[in-house]
Amino acid sequence: MERKKEGHFVLVHGACHGAWCWYKVIVQLKSMGHKVTALDMAGYGVHAKQVHEIHSFFDYFEPLMPFMASLKPEEKVILVGHSLRGYSISAAMEQFHEQVAVAVFATAFMPSPNLPYLSQQFDKTMDSDKTMDTAYVFPNGTDKPPSGLLGPNFMATKLYQFQSDLGRSGKIGYKSTQVDLTLDPDQVQDLALALTWVRHVGLFRDEESIKAVAVTKEKYGSVHRVFVVCCKDHVIKEEYHRWMIENNPPDEVRSISDSYHTVMFSKPDELCSCLQEIADKYIRGSH
Residues acting as catalytic residues = 83, 233, 261
Nearest to 282, CA basis, from 36, 101, 35, 106: 101
Nearest to 253, CA basis, from 232, 231, 269, 280: 231
Contact 249, 277 (CB under 8 A): no
Q: How far apart are CA 45 and CA 255, in angstroms?
A: 29
Give 37: exposed, middle or buried? Use CB within 10 Å, 0-12, 13-18, 19+. Answer: middle
Those residues whose C-beta lies under 8 Å from the C-beta of residue 14, and which sit 6 or more positions away, are: 21, 81, 82, 83, 84, 85, 108
Count the Cβ atoms, other than its own, within 10 Å of residue 4.
14
The distance in angstroms from the start CA to the end CA of the chain is 16
Q: How far apart are CA 96 and CA 223, in angstroms?
A: 10
Q: How far apart are CA 80 and CA 38, in angstroms?
A: 10
Those residues whose C-beta lies under 8 Å from the C-beta of residue 19, and which sit 6 or more positions away, are: 11, 13, 38, 39, 40, 44, 45
Nearest to 83, CA basis, from 276, 185, 230: 230
